[in-house]
Amino acid sequence: MSFLKIFSGKTPEAHEQKGDELFAADLWGKAKVEYERALDKLDKTVPPNNNLKSRLQKKIQRAEASLAHSHKSIADDMLEAGFYDDARELYVSGSGAYRRRAA
């Protein structure tokens, strides 16, 4: 291992793989963070890898959608149980992913 690799950390592909593992375990928020780390690391690489960038952007959107769906499902259960304030917070946080995607 080269000296510089010690300080540069994981590659974008390694972050993507970790994100895929987290997504498969239904840890969508953590997966999104790994995909974003991969994208940040990728933006600093030369030459740019547009295929990987596109793939990561799609995975981020998929993780956001899964997280929002999970929040909505939990909020529905809370609403049914009478926890109105808690349900409202989850509805709002879940809808935030869709607003960010539309922007």
Annotate 8-56 with DSSP letters as a single string: H-S-HHHHHHHHHHHHHTT-HHHHHHHHHHHHHHHHTSSS--HHHHHHH
Q: Is residue 88 part of a domain?
A: yes
Q: Enter the pTM of the model.
A: 0.77
Range of the domain at 21: 10-102
Check residue 48 and give its pLDDT.
87
Residue 1 has pLDDT above 50, yes or no: no
Q: Is residue 3 part of a domain?
A: no
Check residue 22 and give its pLDDT.
97
Query: pLDDT grade, residue 102 (50/70/90)?
Result: very low
Whose CA is closest to 15, among 62, 65, 61, 60? Answer: 60
Q: Is residue 50 part of a domain?
A: yes
Query: How many structural domains does the chain have?
Result: 1
Residue 44 has pLDDT above 70, yes or no: yes
User: Each residue of 4-31: pLDDT tens digit?
Assistant: 555 668 899 999 999 999 999 999 999 9
Rounded to an integer, what distance in angstroms lies between the CA atom of residue 37 and that of residue 15?
Answer: 7
